[in-house]
Structure 1
Amino acid sequence: MASNDTPMMKQYNRLKSENKGSVLFFRLGDFYEMFNQDAVEVSKMLNITLTRRGGVQMCGIPYHSAPNYIGRLLAQGQKIAICEQVEMPVGGKGIAKREVVEIITPGTIVDEKFLDSRSNNYIAAFGGDKKGLSFSYSDLSTGEFRTTSFSWDERSDKLRKELARVSPKELILQETLLEDDTLSQILKDCSFLLNRYPEWLFQLDTSIERLKQQFQVNSLKGFGFEESDISLLSPGVILDYISEKSKSYLPHLRNLEFYSDSDYLNLDESTQKNLEIIRNLQDSSKNYTLLDVLDYTKSPMGGRNLRRWLTHPLKDITEIDKRHKKVEFIYQSQTMLSTLRDRLSNILDIERLTSRVAMDKAHGKDLIAIKNSIKESLEIDLLLEEWSDFSLFKNTEDRCSLEGLYTVLENSIDDEPSILITEGKLIKNGYNSEVDRYRNMKSQSKTILDEYLEEEKRKTGINNLKIKYNKILGYFFEVSKSNISQVPESFIRRQSLVNGDRFTTEKLNDLEVEINNSHSKVVELEKALFLKIRDLVKDKITNLMALSVNIGELDTLQSFSYSATVHGYIKPELNKSGSLEIVNGRHPVVEAHLPQGEFISNDIKLNSTDRNFALITGPNMAGKSTYLRQVALIVLMAQTGSYVPADSAKISIVDRIFCRVGASDNLARGESTFLVEMNETANILRTATEESLVIMDEVGRGTSTNDGLSIAWAICEYILSNIKAKTLFATHYHELTELKEDNMFNLSMAVKETGKDILFLRKVIEGASNNSYGIHVAKLAGVPNEVIERANELLEHIITSSSKKELSEIPKSSNKKKLYATELFSSEEYILNAIKGIDFNSITPLEAINYVAKWQKELLSE
């Protein structure tokens, strides 16, 4: 710090040193200013002007538009320390007192302006000791708080799975864990904000005490924990972190839930990715995913709950059956479904609104949103009266409690309140007599003064008595000389004039003060009343949080019913027989993006005795991968509680789904395609059980033919003999059809041959394929005819050759024609690329016609 720094810069430097690692938004009048290195970095990230004053680099943003800039910085993984002017200097001398009132980080956001209403915003913590590892996470904006634990031997699979499923925006990490090569490899290419904390902060005893303090209990046994549970090591760190950043108490974090793999159908990182449940493989967006197809939710809570259910399918057949029955009840009453959807669309984000109330961040519009949402919830509950299995309220007392809160909010909060609690316009007329009096005084000051004047005229008998006003005396009575003798003793002389005297009274003085101060008094009173009302809402946090959970579940159930209606899904039959029978199953995502009726449906029949392993052969492009994924997705949907795309489906509960379909290089981890494939395969062989569903596609293709065939063969044998899981194994190694196992059977993709041409029928049939049709696929892809013809020649030689020597004697091609770039593509593809490259805004209609004529000529000349 330079010795010649101004007092303000000394203040800034002190606050910056206390908030290292955060961008300091330093309030200066109507702007937030940043200085020095913060200014340099922020100016680049926000593309705003960097200036210099007195040798200090600086940039600034207007206070009123700060949320937009804060959101952009949060999206880039930055932490922002908000520094406000909390006290102005007395007499205008000196500098304003400033304090950091909040630190906003990607994982501690509660302001709806920075949040996606349909997905959670998680912060996670990860720590451990020699006994095991603890992974916990929380969404501060909703109050969700969960923890789990796993052994060191499980660390690779479990951590990858949890990070993929939770997708935290921020992770608090015990930094000594990075000394473990496995964990370091997983975390080094993470996309979230990583906070490294020392080991001494991750202590089991300290975390337990922090949790007891938060929940105001003497023991955590009531939450289902023993005090030796390693899972408790990390959640206390989350509490400390978010308390420090938000600088507020967190009363809405009232429960810590333990979860484990045994509670849900297990989906590892690779399976979640390959099945494109929540994010697609192209751009990681929701488009073209299972979530995209099933998401007909109408409320934010429903949208978030649907995501949670899809990544946590159930294993308990009783619980799954309960969901299916509720979906069926709504599905069978389309009138009720329509009404439910209309009502649910009017319900706002009770969960996040309540969290803001709990943290004293809620404003008037938030309370109106809560009020209106309670009203809609009460109406929905009346619809559900005939449905004894489901209610939005735990009991009559719970319902009455929120009815009472609705009444308070309806009577008290203005229908269009101000957002700022320092501006007034929060409380309705008629709720508080004192507020009404000051409001009337402000709006009806002339009437009030006229009424008082008439009162004094009657008392004094001075008929020409007047109330006047000037800036020096304020309000005063003016009495003519002829009436001075009638002035009572209660009148206080202020000024004597030639034509009369000016007086005041204690009441007139009081009225003047009240009139002049009425606005500030109204604001003061409204703020005090608002805070009391907000505290009343805070007292109902438990009720409101329970309501939000029930709304989220109801919305998800109606979404399943609506998707079944829209897409023609059926209710699956769940059992524990070990069998899987799907008749005319369809891929839910592919079907949704094709014209109605165009998707080719297929069957599958597996059991745990003599038919648990299906070997699927056939050409690429014939639909094998789609078929594999559709079977996995139908099972996942069924165990989530959804209806499924099929004519019928009898599904035995599975404990895990493994989907090893497709692979690509993972350059960030230094892994080739083949290594990625083998890592995923190794995980399946280590952890799959007889109750698992295993989907494997083209295993072994990333190495030599002999190596790949040998690996694929050994994998099939191991699954058949040791694991015995229900398995769909697609391969281009036709030699695998020679495997002799009683519980294995062959399937293939039907192909129609017409002369030299083929047509992929997209239909799965019993029996092995005797041809991969690779050259036909190359032709369909637009490979030049010269190459196709040469490939057919070589295929004949290869088929008849019995040794490498014979292969080496194959004559070279006599075709010396050079292939130009345009010849590597079919004419159709070439023309499509040409169209993409034309700027139609810069050509004339005649030029466009000439282009079309040229392309027509090229197509006709083929």
Structure 2
Amino acid sequence: MMAGYTPMIQQYLRVKADYEDAFLFFRLGDFYEMFFEDAEKASQELEITLTSRDGGGKERIPMCGVPYHSAPQYIDQLIEKGYKVAICEQTEDPKQAKGVVKREVVQLITPGTMMDGRGLNDKENNYIATITSFADETYGFACNDLSTGENRVTLLVSFDDCLNELSLTGAKEVVVAHDFDGELTRKMKERSVMTISSEDDTEIKDTFAHLLEKITQDKLSITISRLFNYLYRTQKRSLDHLQPVTTYQVQQYMKIDYYSKRNLELTETIRSKGKKGSLLWLLDETMTAMGGRMLKAWIDRPLIDKEQIEYRQSLVETFIAQYFEREELREMLKEVYDLERLAGRVAFGNVNARDLTQLKRSLQHVPKIKEIVGHLPNKKAVQLADKLDPCEAVTDLLDRSLVENAPVSIKEGNIIRDGYHKELDQYRDASRNGKTWLAELEKREREKTGIKSLKVGYNRVFGYYIEVTKANLHLLQEGLYERKQTLTNAERFVTAELKEKEALILQAEEKSVELEYKIFTEIREFVKEYIPRLQALAKLISELDVLQCFATVSEQRHYVKPSFSEERRIDIIDGRHPVVEKVMAAQEYVPNDCLMNSEREILLITGPNMSGKSTYMRQIALTAVLAQIGCFVPASEAVLPIFDQVFTRIGAADDLISGQSTFMVEMLEANYAITNATQNSLILFDEIGRGTSTYDGMALAQAMIEYIHDRIGAKMLFSTHYHELTVLEKELNRVKNVHVSAIEQNGKVVFLHKIKQGPADKSYGINVAELANLPTGLISRATEILHILENTKSKNEDIQTNEQDVAKEEIAQLSFFEQPVKPKKNEFTQKEKQVINQVKELNILDMTPLDAINTLYKLQKKLKG
């Protein structure tokens, strides 16, 4: 197949064969070129011109390209769409090549391995994950952020848990074995995982062995090794910034499943899929990119360890009390760049002088941060300050070696300070003196010839020259200069002396640039040795940043420090929804209490639409999340249990991609909660059963309440429009009715947004429809129909009551009840057991009177028979 193509195209095809799932950026001079299908697809995705060239075959081959210097922006576009890009560079000097210049792929850029560019969000991690399926139906899950070097691994018992971890990490790429289950792959793509990659090598390489020293389980080692080997194979460079692998268990944190995280809008809103309007948006008063990433991680994984929570609370409380110190700290943190990603760029080899200057400036503020925190009246703060490592040697070296405003390029000079390196100073002196000599030469030659327009210039092709316009050529003495180049309006000349100086100047400049690059790489290698210390420093500064952020928000919004109940008691006084309160701004938010204990495990919430039932439910869950990440909470008083899990089913959400209806999604989410909840969980169910017939929905809703009440014992808030369910308060001793109050004024409904004890008296559905500006005639007709239905229902209830009374009277006269079945010697006969079981299965009072009597007669006869 290749035989008909030119040697260069054959080379391209050989390289492309190893990177079939990526766009191959093939370096040709100052361009990256693409051919064949890559060219056709790239021209569409990047909106660039598709052309063609002679490839040596029968037909011209498709071709497109992008300039080398602007390639990053095109690469970003492709990565954002989930593609991979293989960078193929020239690996030998074209001048020394005997045939086709050698080329090879130097890096594979993928959505999960971005190190810079617009694909990286400063305050978000960029995770790549891996999932390994084991024979015992457990799953290894690991993730890495290549830009920071973070590595985490865990063992999970179901693929649903894997999907939940994917949603928490937001992984853009997942690495699996070549033969990974196709159905599971489909499920990952439904969760917005753009790129699925393959890696079968799970051998622990010596390069990474030191990162796995604390891992004792083979399954975990295999899982993380798969990911490391993929990174090593695709990045083809030093990964010295990779941090030791951290193992974790999902049970170490409050578990918030994918649906609940979405419903509560913890890090993004349901409608816009953006940060604004989420809990993260409310809380983010962090001053550093590192702190922003840690804040999101803490929200995704609230703590369940009381001691860890109270450690955070203690520091938040101190920062609130020490206002001036906190403000001074915020000013210092503002000057700290992203130490984690700077360290990653150092190891990766793509750091430049500006990056290192940012590192230096950041480290210069660490001593002051250390001083501020070290003087806080809190022992934990002092201990934290003691751990802050300013890395003085790095600061000193960077301050002595690098100029302040260095260019982006590290191969064109002008990045090293004068006086730092003796040999470099000598080259620079020769270059600078040479240029001074050139200026003096120009002045001297003008005086000698009398030509005021004579100039000494430089050209990359011809070097230095003396230029004289043709109008002034007659003023030159014969043989004064040696002719070098003829232009339209001028002639260029050289002299022996100028040739000699040119050699000295150009040699000095060339050697100066080469030496600067060498010096820079030496500085980079020195800084690389400090990467573990820089990463440790970054974590501590991130922690300080998040804690001051909690203090800032808590003080501004008048939050209080919550305490934790061992008796699983919720006692929230004047609680508010944190995000809604902020959005309302000048409007006054109506606070509400929430009281739950061993006698009030389930709150059955009734009230009209738009009255605030869902908001009330969400605010309880968000208060729990805030408390367990160590922040203060929006209330005047708050006592909470430590929840192990939060489950929510709030609002409709069709799963159109997988073809599931709203009702099916509702049932799946409800099932997930009921299956996984424990006594220490919090469940929020909003309007369960709306997607089916009234009786079906009501039956399901009641059954769920009974199941959770009798078998699980979790705290639950259950809002409903099925007012018939309010009778459960009498039947289930830990169910209590509450309602969101509303009143009618002049035929209009007024929502008071206040939670009160007892059930709601009506639904106000027509009133809400009127508020939505439905046609007046329609509202009037709906009111008429409602009155008819209510009257009919009332009559039916009276008839049913009378029939039931008659039935009860008839039943009471039956010998079946006059001579109740009693155990004989503590045992029943087989026939008696059958009759008793049938009685248990029948709900006599739900039958018509005649059916109830007939049924009991038959049972009596069977028992006597």
For the aligned pair, the TM-score class normalised by the smaller chain equals 0.7 to 0.9
1:460-482 Cα distance to aligned partner (Å, 9 max, x none): xxxxxxxx9999xx99xxxxxxx
Match of 1:338 among 323, 327, 334: 327
Q: Hey, what's the Cα distance between the residues in 2 that align with 1:202 and 1:618?
A: 59
Q: Hey, what's the Cα distance between the residues in 1 that align with 2:761 and 2:777?
A: 25
2:167–2:258 Cα contact (<8 Å) kept? yes
Q: Hey, what's the Cα distance between the residues in 2 that align with 1:797 and 1:37?
A: 69
1:193 is matched with: 194
Which amino acid letter does the alignment assign opposite residue 171 of structure 2? P
Does 2:797 match 1:795? no
Once the two structures are TM-superposed, the CA of residue 254 in structure 1 deviates from its matched residue by 2.9
Match of 1:142 among 125, 145, 148: 148
Q: Hey, what's the Cα distance between the residues in 1 that align with 2:272 and 2:32?
A: 35
Does 2:64 match 1:59? yes
1:71 is matched with: 76
SS of the counterpart of 1:3?
helix
1:3 is matched with: 3
1:149–1:231 Cα contact (<8 Å) kept? yes
Match of 2:513 among 523, 532, 540: 523
2:813 is matched with: none
Once the two structures are TM-superposed, the CA of residue 283 in structure 1 deviates from its matched residue by 2.4
Q: Hey, what's the Cα distance between the residues in 2 that align with 1:369 and 1:667?
A: 47
Does 2:564 match 1:577? no
The structure-2 alpha-carbon separation of the partners of 1:469 and 1:558, relative to structure 1 and needing over 3 Å to count, comes to closer
2:169 is matched with: 166
Which amino acid letter does the alignment assign opposite residue 527 of structure 1? Y
1:560–1:643 Cα contact (<8 Å) kept? yes
Q: Hey, what's the Cα distance between the residues in 1 that align with 2:256 and 2:664?
A: 20
Once the two structures are TM-superposed, the CA of residue 285 in structure 1 deviates from its matched residue by 1.0
Which is further off, 72-81 or 248-257? Answer: 248-257
1:748 is matched with: 739
The structure-2 alpha-carbon separation of the partners of 1:653 and 1:449, relative to structure 1 and needing over 3 Å to count, comes to same
* TM-score of the superposed pair, with normalisation by structure 2: 0.81
1:585–1:630 Cα contact (<8 Å) kept? yes
1:133–1:231 Cα contact (<8 Å) kept? no
Once the two structures are TM-superposed, the CA of residue 19 in structure 1 deviates from its matched residue by 1.8
Which amino acid letter does the alignment assign opposite residue 755 of structure 1? N
Q: Hey, what's the Cα distance between the residues in 2 that align with 1:227 and 1:264?
A: 21
Q: Hey, what's the Cα distance between the residues in 2 that align with 1:184 and 1:52?
A: 37
Query: Superposition pairs for residues 701-780 of structure 1, below 5 Å?
Result: 701-739=690-728, 740-780=731-771
SS of the counterpart of 2:527?
helix
1:673 is matched with: 662
1:214 is matched with: 208
2:45 is matched with: 45
Q: Hey, what's the Cα distance between the residues in 2 that align with 1:665 and 1:726?
A: 27
1:617–1:769 Cα contact (<8 Å) kept? yes
SS of the counterpart of 2:397?
helix
Once the two structures are TM-superposed, the CA of residue 395 in structure 1 deviates from its matched residue by 4.9
Does 2:74 match 1:84? no
Structure 1 runs not aligned, ≥5 long:
452-467, 476-494, 496-502, 807-862
Q: Hey, what's the Cα distance between the residues in 2 that align with 1:618 and 1:239?
A: 55
1:465 is matched with: none
SS of the counterpart of 2:389?
helix
1:700-739 Cα distance to aligned partner (Å, 9 max, x none): 1111100111111111111111111111111111111101
Q: Hey, what's the Cα distance between the residues in 2 that align with 1:275 and 1:126?
A: 27
Once the two structures are TM-superposed, the CA of residue 596 in structure 1 deviates from its matched residue by 2.7
Once the two structures are TM-superposed, the CA of residue 667 in structure 1 deviates from its matched residue by 1.4
1:436 is matched with: 425
Which amino acid letter does the alignment assign opposite residue 561 of structure 1? A
Q: Hey, what's the Cα distance between the residues in 2 that align with 1:716 and 1:342?
A: 52
1:853 is matched with: none
1:696–1:729 Cα contact (<8 Å) kept? yes
Q: Hey, what's the Cα distance between the residues in 2 that align with 1:115 and 1:694?
A: 35
Q: Hey, what's the Cα distance between the residues in 1 that align with 2:795 and 2:70?
A: 73
Which is further off, 663-672 or 1-10? Answer: 1-10
> Matched residues, percent identical?
38
The structure-2 alpha-carbon separation of the partners of 1:692 and 1:307, relative to structure 1 and needing over 3 Å to count, comes to same
2:163–2:188 Cα contact (<8 Å) kept? no
Alignment RMSD (CA, Å): 2.8
SS of the counterpart of 2:760?
coil
* TM-score of the superposed pair, with normalisation by structure 1: 0.82
Query: Superposition pairs for residues 313-712 of structure 1, below 5 Å?
Result: 313-387=302-376, 388-390=379-381, 395=386, 399=389, 402-445=391-434, 514-607=504-597, 609-712=598-701
Structure 2 runs not aligned, ≥5 long:
55-59, 441-455, 465-481, 483-494, 798-865
SS of the counterpart of 2:620?
helix
Q: Hey, what's the Cα distance between the residues in 2 that align with 1:14 and 1:76?
A: 26
Once the two structures are TM-superposed, the CA of residue 4 in structure 1 deviates from its matched residue by 3.8
1:825 is matched with: none
Which is further off, 86-95 or 640-649? Answer: 86-95
Q: Hey, what's the Cα distance between the residues in 2 that align with 1:407 and 1:91?
A: 42
The structure-2 alpha-carbon separation of the partners of 1:38 and 1:185, relative to structure 1 and needing over 3 Å to count, comes to closer
Q: Hey, what's the Cα distance between the residues in 2 that align with 1:120 and 1:594?
A: 31
Which amino acid letter does the alignment assign opposite residue 698 of structure 2? L
1:849 is matched with: none
Which amino acid letter does the alignment assign opposite residue 310 of structure 1? I
1:782 is matched with: 773
Once the two structures are TM-superposed, the CA of residue 537 in structure 1 deviates from its matched residue by 0.5
SS of the counterpart of 2:230?
helix
SS of the counterpart of 2:365?
helix
1:764-783 Cα distance to aligned partner (Å, 9 max, x none): 11111020111111111111
1:67–1:113 Cα contact (<8 Å) kept? no
Q: Hey, what's the Cα distance between the residues in 1 that align with 2:351 and 2:127?
A: 21
Does 2:282 match 1:293? yes
1:769-802 Cα distance to aligned partner (Å, 9 max, x none): 0201111111111111111111111111111225
Once the two structures are TM-superposed, the CA of residue 447 in structure 1 deviates from its matched residue by 6.9
1:14-63 Cα distance to aligned partner (Å, 9 max, x none): 22222211101122222222111111101111111111233121112222
Q: Hey, what's the Cα distance between the residues in 2 that align with 1:512 and 1:790?
A: 99
Once the two structures are TM-superposed, the CA of residue 235 in structure 1 deviates from its matched residue by 1.1
Q: Hey, what's the Cα distance between the residues in 2 that align with 1:312 and 1:190?
A: 19
